[in-house]
Amino acid sequence: MHSCWVEINHSALRHNIQAVRHLVGDHISVIAVVKANAYGHGAVEASRIFADEGAQMLAVTRLDEARPLRAAGIETPILLLAPALHGECDEVVEQGLTACVSDLRDARNLSDAVTRQQRTVQVQLKINTGMGRLGVEPEVAIETAKQIQELPGLELTGAYTHFASAGERDTGLVLAQYGRFQPLVQLISRATGLNPQNFHCANSAALIRFPSMRLSCVRPGTILYGQFPSPMAEEAAQDQGLKLRDGFAVKARIIAVKNLRRGQTLGYGPEWKATRPTKIATLAIGWADGLSMEPHARTASYAEVKRAAQVTAKRAAQWYGMRGEDAARKVRLNGQSASIIGRIAMQQCSIDITHLPDAQIGDAVTVSMRRLSAGAHLPRVYVDD
């Protein structure tokens, strides 16, 4: 019995990848992005579900994200979305990962590693079309691909780019990026013999909004976890009948119940005072668990605090269907909402349960929280419908 945990619904994850695969069709392969601990859902469990549901490949950003997948016995091909450091190349080869090559230096480092081990490694070429962070420029991509193939031990198996604004209302940049990438599919294929089916550019927003950009392979991330990357993507999904399920909930138990008199204060500061007799419950969750950051009021400007509160309120409102200005300070208990009162502490917070006379110690409360904010130390508890 946990006092604070994250509940993940297997059925929701399974539904979402099935919905994506139905949308793109059986002729298009899926690279399921499980970076950042599968967006907070638990990378090992999510990877198993996605692989079972037909994902041909998984994708993470760093080597340390791939290790637990291999340690758990997951044999599905894994693509690194960022280049490995020089000292990591040997392990990339040992783990049987598909490496990102962002320039010739990356390729040479990997070639040295496979030469030492007398093995081969699969690599994919990252092409910069507008994101700017990583990748060779389009004008040298063909020659770079040919040079990669000439290096000992490297097997070029794909090429890809990443869109900077596929979810935005202004489609100018994403169209320009695709315009730079799409001609390279045939040009690199003819120059190297690389299968055109192994080129990919469509992230979650692009695969929903721009079907022509799906090519033969898509790279969904956030939509696998029941979230749309932007309102425009959600609108396009509705038009195409794509329905996602949210399978993520942070929960904490009531550890104490107390009655406060009018005028009594609560918590650090103290920033809250009872204006009437108030029944409160204390929850075993705080900002160290991801519920909030340490109060900004001490160091940040009013504008910064207001901006952060607005963002948090908007995300919470999407979760509970509440008004944005109310949502950031609300939890759900026995199907009803309750307000967080006082300053959120490191591992505790308090809620007003005056209107919930049946609430008692041990009850589970659902807390609104950004998924990637939910502490990795919190147990992930998996359920099915």
Residue 220's SS3 state is coil
Side chain identity, residue 317: A
**173 CB burial (10 A radius; 0-12, 13-18, 19+):** middle
289 DSSP 8-state letter:
G
Contacts of 179 (CB under 8 A, 6+ apart): none
382, β-bridge pairs: 8
Contacts of 238 (CB under 8 A, 6+ apart): none
- Name the catalytic one among 243, 258, 268, 306: 268
Q: Is 225 a catalytic residue?
A: no
Neighbouring C-beta atoms of residue 96, cutoff 10 Å: 14
Contacts of 339 (CB under 8 A, 6+ apart): 329, 330, 331, 351, 352
Q: Which residues in 360-382 are b (16+ Cβ under 10 Å) and which e?
A: eeebbbbbbbebebbbeebebeb
Q: For residues 368 and 330, is the Cβ–Cβ distance under 8 A?
A: yes
Q: Which residues in 188-198 are b (16+ Cβ under 10 Å) and which e?
A: bbeebebeeeb
Q: Is 146 a catalytic residue?
A: no
- Name the catalytic one among 35, 126, 251, 330: 35
Residue 3's SS3 state is coil
Q: For residues 83 and 102, is the Cβ–Cβ distance under 8 A?
A: yes
User: How far is residue 44's CA from residue 380's CA, in Å, rounded to a whole number?
Assistant: 11
Strands 278-283 and 349-352: antiparallel
Q: Which of 234, 237, 197 is nearest to 214 (CA)?
A: 197
Q: Which two tokens stand for residue 272?
A: 């809250």
Contacts of 25 (CB under 8 A, 6+ apart): none
Q: Which of 269, 257, 266 is nearest to 357 (CA)?
A: 257
Q: Which sequence positions are flagged as catalytic? A: 35, 268
